[in-house]
Structure 1
């Protein structure tokens, strides 16, 4: 090996050793870009931040359509800024389709609720409404303040799949809330699952689903499964039980 090459290699090694011996600086691990977008938080708890999409603010139901017939004018009952399930109409779903989002939604079980088990204030929030199988991924809405049922079917559960960490239900007649971070599943070209759905849920401010990985949809009968889909509407369920219908208000979403 030529002397000049040896000298050059020795010089490079000397520089590298010198650099390695230099003390670390705070600036070495500082990241300055990209700068996060500015979002103004709401002034009141539960109110929508500045970048939220308002799905229902009590004024109208323009963001919602009949799940069985998107061209139908039949929707739920709207009164005093609240929409109440009309069981003769069926489910409602959003006009727009979504992938990943943060969702805030408030509901109220009637104070005079009757029935028991799954027949007491039953509804559901489908975080992605699908046309096949169980119809999507259902976060259960039910009165479980003192109402016993199977634990993977009570309020705060992903129906028949993941029980809530705790029972955070309030009394019938009181407004309750869900705050949900939803990551939609992704699929490969052949329909196989690239990444499953993941959800974190707070019920009345209490963590009930902690980065829960869903096994698929949430059927009433049978095992969960995945089928390839993309962006989907959010659906609110009009359950077929005979108890008094529940109400919803203050629904907003942030796309992630």
Structure 2
């Protein structure tokens, strides 16, 4: 019969049994699931950090934005004169006043000199405060995104017209989900998010181009699919013979997930 150490006689039975039991095998720690893409697991501290930017304020755009018009000049745009214009210069002749640019008679469309990939386009616009005309004759202009289509600019406050031609519409394609228009003369904002189509090496579309439009802080187009295949594009502000005003125009690239990976 084995001898018991005298000190063990004074310990609880459960403690004596625990001390005598062999150590149990611990199971290996389970790995966390992968995040979409299958490269990084959930909570992976080795995952690259997103680019740090300064967000916009009332008077300044985001720090990663390309400013196209800050209220001073339209040098980032070129004019498209009509054939019958005496002035064939490509320098925009819209009126610049009090921080905004206003379409002038025979001013013509103005086009960005640069091209962009997937991006966020921000601009603010105002139709005339004095209401003249109806339907398409009130404050008509547009953001003509080359290869994509037109985001309509129009006085759509208590002004009926065909749905795919009102403010916030992707012209002749998608009406806005809601009418978020402000009164004539009030400043309004567009944020237009263009996500280029994903193509394979042969140019076959793997994922269609998608456009989201935010009008005055309200989503009016949500990932609308378009047939655009362009990977770089510019855009124009349309002269539709109405004195529409624009200000605070900037573009920023759409950053990719894990774009800072080494």
Q: Same fold (TM over 0.5)?
A: yes
RMSD: 2.7
Query: Given that residues 55 and 63 in structure 1 are in contact (C-alpha distance below 8 angstroms), is that contact kept between their aligned partners in structure 2?
Result: yes
TM-score normalized with structure 2 length: 0.74
Is 1:213 the counterpart of 2:225? The answer is: yes
Bigger shift: 137-146 or 189-198? 189-198
Deviation, 1:144, is: 0.7
1:144 aligned residue: 156
Over 3 Å counting, the alpha-carbon distance change for 1:173 and 1:194 in structure 2 is same
CA distance in 2, matches of 1:146, 1:43: 31
2:44 aligned residue: 31
1:167-208 alpha-carbon deviations (Å, 9 max, x no partner)? 000000100001121112355666654432211111001110
Secondary structure of the corresponding residue to residue 74 of structure 2? coil
1:199 aligned residue: 211
Structure 2 unmatched ranges of 5 or more: 1-24, 34-39, 83-87, 255-262
In the alignment of these two chains, the number of paired residues is 218
Matching residue within 100, 104, 107 for 1:86: 104
Secondary structure of the corresponding residue to residue 178 of structure 2? coil
1:160 aligned residue: 172
Over 3 Å counting, the alpha-carbon distance change for 1:209 and 1:229 in structure 2 is closer
Deviation, 1:212, is: 1.2
Secondary structure of the corresponding residue to residue 172 of structure 2? coil
Matching residue within 67, 78, 85 for 2:80: 67
1:6 aligned residue: none
TM-score normalized with structure 1 length: 0.76
Deviating 4+ runs (over 6 angstroms): none
CA distance in 1, matches of 2:232, 2:32: 45
Over 3 Å counting, the alpha-carbon distance change for 1:166 and 1:75 in structure 2 is same
Structure 1 unmatched ranges of 5 or more: 1-14, 131-135, 217-225
Query: Given that residues 80 and 90 in structure 2 are in contact (C-alpha distance below 8 angstroms), is that contact kept between their aligned partners in structure 1?
Result: no
Higher helix share: 1
Higher radius of gyration, 1 or 2: 2
Over 3 Å counting, the alpha-carbon distance change for 1:24 and 1:189 in structure 2 is closer
Equivalence map 1:1-256=2 (5 Å): 18-19=27-28, 22-23=29-30, 29-32=42-45, 33-44=47-58, 47-68=60-81, 72-127=90-145, 129-130=146-147, 136-186=148-198, 192-214=204-226, 216=227, 229-240=230-241, 244-256=242-254
Secondary structure of the corresponding residue to residue 118 of structure 1? helix
Query: Given that residues 122 and 251 in structure 2 are in contact (C-alpha distance below 8 angstroms), is that contact kept between their aligned partners in structure 1?
Result: yes
1:120-178 alpha-carbon deviations (Å, 9 max, x no partner)? 11111123x25xxxxx5100100110110111111011001111110000000100001
